[in-house]
């Protein structure tokens, strides 16, 4: 007769065997992950399998600067800017492009985009300050956001920024009062939510009449020049049908403003929200399957997502044809791209810190030197991942890629097949130019450097944080010898932060 201990051990072994069997079957029937070609990001491999960006071997960059690194591709960034700014065939003009500061808030990246003719779309007092600090012409700044302070509105008025988009009706009277006090008459628009879209704290709804009431109030204010209509899709745009429905909703309301108030808009601002084609959404079910059974998430085909060129062409032609058909002046078209402008122009390089044995589902674990605190978007998105060394024909294994923090939730890739990994090996996470830097925190670790590759040249846009950086704003007690028998209290001399006695 089995003892209780043996019985428990048998039950545990049975559970592990069952879990491994279920996981093996689940992975066998799950769709195979198909990687996006390296050439999509101007990457290549040499005969030994080393990964290159143009002429730059990424392993050398990682060794020279230190791991991890945010690596920016200057050529890809410039190409995206040019595609958004291009005039579509048959159109009378191009869009006016204002890059989203919140998406990629690195001054060196923003300056690179401004040098190519892009304006600034800012949503906070800090971002407005930064745009002016970077020398962006005030007329090339659009100030959005739901929490504009009086001080920032005064700065915008004094600088004569090109457009202030009111987020909600209560902002109108406040802005008018500030403008009157300073003898200014700013160009303004009002953010609206088209029927069927999610609004929340952003914009006034069209379907409730709130948007129309906001315009009526603004038009009664002699200190405001009401010239624009502003809206965002508020979800990622992936298809022609989505952009068609969104722009149609905007144009329908523009016609209503014309009929009701005789308002001929000078600007239609369609916001941003265009998806990055090489990033896939990661639903909760797919993440659970990856965590519990090791089923790799699938990547959507980039061809299934609207390209920058298609997006710009559809927006411009739809608006121009609408106004031409009604024999009204065609307004200027503003767009505020974020992720589609910067995501695929940046990658995150990191190193393997440790490799562990297989778990009960048969998966090996690799601990990386970066975690979710630097790569938060990976909790809801699938980003292509490449090994920096992948010899031809190398056998792949299934790994769980985790971060360095002491949290079970710090799993960047719960399931991903890679060539056999060893400590020190390098990995490259693609499409990290949207929100990775913005959402990162110094949780237990300093944040990485941001480095731009321009041809064969390397330029550090932001150095890596140091330990001292992490406490630079804190008051730190001066180190003093303390007897274990007489610990100091908060009232002891010398215990005040930053004060010596």
**DSSP states along 98-131:** EEETTTS--HHHHHHHHTTT-EEEE-SHHHHHHH
The average pLDDT across 33-62 equals 95
* pLDDT, position 32: 79
Share of the chain above pLDDT 90, in %: 79
Q: Which helix (H) or strand (E) holds 454?
A: strand 449-454
First to last CA, the chain: 74
Largest CA distance in the chain: 95
- The DSSP 8-state label assigned to residue 453 in this structure reads E
Pick the CATH number of 30-68+344-465 from 2.40.37.10, 3.40.50.1820, 2.40.128.110, 1.10.10.10: 2.40.37.10
* pLDDT, position 490: 44
234: left (phi over 0), alpha (psi -120 to 50) or beta: left
* pLDDT, position 197: 85
The average pLDDT across 475-493 equals 58
**Whole-Å CA distances, 311 to 86, 249, 487:** 11, 16, 66
Is it true that the peptide bond before 250 is cis, omega within 30 degrees of 0? Answer: no
| 1-15, 387-401, 465-479: least confident range | 1-15
Task: List, as one string, the DSSP characters of 402-423.
Answer: E-SSS-TT-EEEEEEEEEPP-T
**Whole-Å CA distances, 165 to 119, 168, 251, 405:** 15, 9, 17, 41
The average pLDDT across 46-50 equals 96
* pLDDT, position 489: 44
Model confidence, pTM: 0.89
**Whole-Å CA distances, 307 to 80, 184, 238, 312, 338:** 10, 40, 8, 9, 14
CB 201 within 8 A of CB 191: no
* pLDDT, position 7: 64
* pLDDT, position 29: 64
The average pLDDT across 31-40 equals 90
Q: Which two tokens stand for residue 39?
A: 């050439």
Compute the distance between CA of residue 478 and CA of residue 463 in angstroms, rounded to an integer: 27
Sketch the domain layout of the chain as residue ranges. 30-68+344-465, 74-342
Q: Which helix (H) or strand (E) holds 396?
A: strand 396-402
* pLDDT, position 333: 98
pLDDT confidence bin for 3, thresholds 50/70/90: low
The average pLDDT across 289-302 equals 87
Give the chain's mean pLDDT: 91
Residue 360 has pLDDT above 80, yes or no: no
Q: Which two tokens stand for residue 146?
A: 């739901």
Q: In terms of Cα–Cα distance, which of 228, 90, 96 is closest to 163? A: 228
Q: In terms of Cα–Cα distance, which of 421, 266, 312, 371 is closest to 88? A: 312
CB 157 within 8 A of CB 178: yes
Residue 482 has pLDDT above 60, yes or no: no
Pick the CATH number of 74-342 from 3.20.20.10, 2.60.120.380, 3.30.2130.10, 3.40.50.1580: 3.20.20.10
**Whole-Å CA distances, 114 to 135, 187, 336:** 9, 22, 13
* pLDDT, position 494: 39
Task: List, as one string, the DSSP characters of 34-70.
Answer: -PPPGGGGTEEE-TT-BEEETTEEHHHHHHHH-SSEE
Q: What is the pLDDT of residues 241-267, one digit of tens each?
A: 999 999 999 999 999 999 999 999 999
The average pLDDT across 428-440 equals 97
* pLDDT, position 408: 85
Compute the distance between CA of residue 172 and CA of residue 161 in angstroms, rounded to an integer: 17
Q: Which residue(s) pair with 57 in the sheet?
A: 52
| 113-122, 133-142, 197-206: least confident range | 197-206
Instruction: Indicate the angle between helix axes 4-29 and 284-293, nearest 10 degrees.
Output: 130
Residue 493 has pLDDT above 60, yes or no: no
pLDDT confidence bin for 166, thresholds 50/70/90: very high
* pLDDT, position 312: 98
- Beta strands 43-45 and 51-53: pairing type? antiparallel
């Amino acid at each position: 007769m089995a003892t209780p201990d043996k019985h428990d051990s048998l039950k545990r072994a049975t559970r592990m065997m069952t879990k491994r069997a279920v996981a093996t079957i689940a992975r066998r029937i799950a769709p195979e992950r198909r990687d996006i070609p390296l050439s999509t990001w101007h990457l290549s491999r040499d005969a030994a399998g080393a990964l290159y960006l143009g002429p730059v071997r990424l392993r050398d960059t990682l060794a020279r600067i230190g791991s991890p690194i945010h690596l920016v591709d200057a050529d890809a960034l410039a190409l995206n800017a040019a595609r958004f700014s291009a005039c579509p065939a048959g159109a009378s003009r191009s869009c006016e492009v204002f890059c989203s500061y919140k998406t990629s808030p690195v001054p060196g990246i923003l300056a690179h985009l401004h040098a190519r003719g892009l304006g600034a779309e800012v949503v906070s007092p800090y971002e407005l300050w930064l745009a002016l600090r970077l020398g962006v012409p005030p007329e090339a700044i659009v100030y959005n956001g739901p929490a504009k302070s009086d001080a920032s509105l005064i700065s915008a008025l004094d600088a004569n920024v090109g457009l202030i988009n009111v987020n909600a009706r209560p902002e109108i009277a406040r802005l008018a009062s500030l403008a009157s006090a300073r003898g200014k008459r700013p160009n303004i628009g009002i953010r609206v939510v088209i029927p069927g879209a999610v609004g929340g704290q952003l914009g006034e709804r069209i379907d409730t009449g709130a948007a129309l009431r906001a315009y009526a109030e603004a038009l009664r204010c002699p200190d405001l020049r009401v010239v624009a209509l502003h809206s965002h899709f508020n979800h990622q745009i992936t298809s022609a049908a989505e952009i068609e429905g969104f722009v149609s909703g905007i144009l329908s309301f523009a016609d209503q403003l014309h009929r009701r108030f005789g308002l001929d808009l000078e600007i239609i601002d369609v916001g941003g929200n265009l998806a990055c084609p090489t990033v896939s959404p990661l639903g909760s079910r797919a993440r659970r399957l990856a965590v519990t059974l090791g089923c790799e998430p699938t990547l959507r085909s980039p061809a299934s997502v609207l390209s920058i060129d298609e997006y710009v062409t559809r927006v411009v032609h739809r608006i121009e044809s609408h106004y031409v058909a009604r024999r009204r002046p065609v307004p200027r078209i503003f767009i505020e791209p974020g992720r589609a402008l910067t995501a695929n122009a940046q990658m995150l390089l990191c190193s393997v810190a440790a490799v562990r044995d297989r778990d009960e589902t048969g998966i090996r674990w690799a601990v990386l030197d970066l975690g979710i605190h630097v790569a938060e978007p990976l909790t809801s998105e699938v980003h292509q991942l490449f090994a920096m060394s992948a010899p031809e024909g190398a056998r792949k294994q299934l790994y769980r890629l985790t971060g360095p923090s002491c949290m079970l939730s710090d799993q960047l890739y719960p399931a991903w097949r890679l060539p056999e990994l060893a400590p020190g090996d390098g990995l490259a996470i693609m499409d990290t130019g949207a929100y990775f830097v913005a959402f990162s925190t110094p949780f237990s670790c300093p944040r990485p450097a941001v480095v731009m590759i321009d041809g064969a040249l390397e330029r550090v846009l932001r150095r890596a944080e140091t330990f001292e950086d992490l406490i630079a704003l804190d008051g730190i007690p001066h180190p003093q010898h303390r007897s274990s028998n007489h610990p100091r209290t908060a009232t002891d001399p010398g215990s005040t932060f930053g004060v010596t006695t």
